[in-house]
Amino acid sequence: GAVVSQHPSWVICKSGTSVKIECRSLDFQATTMFWYRQFPKQSLMLMATSNEGSKATYEQGVEKDKFLINHASLTLSTLTVTSAHPEDSSFYICSAISTRDRGEKEAFFGQGTRLTVV
Amino acid sequence: LAKTTQPISMDSYEGQEVNITCSHNNIATNDYITWYQQFPSQGPRFIIQGYKTKVTNEVASLFIPADRKSSTLSLPRVSLSDTAVYYCLVAGGYQKVTFGIGTKLQVIP
């Protein structure tokens, strides 16, 4: 099946610094990728939809200037958490949409990135 | 977007069959039903996908009635390693993929 790779798997950063998370579709092209945030014992919350070659679409309540998304190629989307604060500590997950053999679409997920801001 | 409703949690003994039902009353004609499994600190993993009737693969079965307003994921003979959160997703064009709360399955020895 299709593979989505996220990097890094975990990161610890100081408050006020910025952190970049990469999401790559390894064996397929993805014009659309999604970024989620998941707090402990909660479901995945959609943050934004990343569209290749255009601006990302952010969900209500998500600050676009704080969570910068760049989808510069068909296989790579990046999420940059700017001026990170402890409350940004969370598990960030990306997904990319692939089309299966019979035309059904399927969302493939990265392994997630654990961000801890100290 | 079709909203989904699942039980928050379920317990099962090892070796038993587990059925998790998801309600999606507002499912659209072009929507598929997909189930994912998530372990702690990992991304969701695809289990099975279907449109109608019954679908079976090496790990699960998916039952979808004719009106498609619900679906049931069936896990045969669960083991401790099946303890996870299971999400039911309903999406068509995948312009936007949102998650419900999911069902936390606890398998008991």
Candidates B22, B46, B87, B94, partner chain A, best to mutate (most A CBs within 10 A): B94
CB-based contact, B84 to chain A, within 8 Å:
no
Q: Closest to B42 (Cβ–Cβ): which among A1, A106, A112?
A: A112
Q: Is A72 left (phi over 0), alpha (psi -120 to 50) or beta?
A: alpha
> Mind listing the pLDDT tens digit of every residue in chain A (118 residues)?
678 999 999 999 999 999 999 999 998 888 889 999 999 989 999 999 988 888 999 999 999 999 999 998 999 999 999 999 999 999 999 999 887 677 767 788 999 999 999 9
Percentage of chain B beyond pLDDT 90 is 79
List of chain B residues with pLDDT < 70: 1-2, 93-95
Residues of B in contact with A26 (CB under 8 A): none
Q: pLDDT at position B97, please?
A: 78
Whether A36 sits inside 8 A of B99 (CB atoms) is yes
Whether A43 sits inside 8 A of B96 (CB atoms) is no
Q: pLDDT at position B95, please?
A: 65
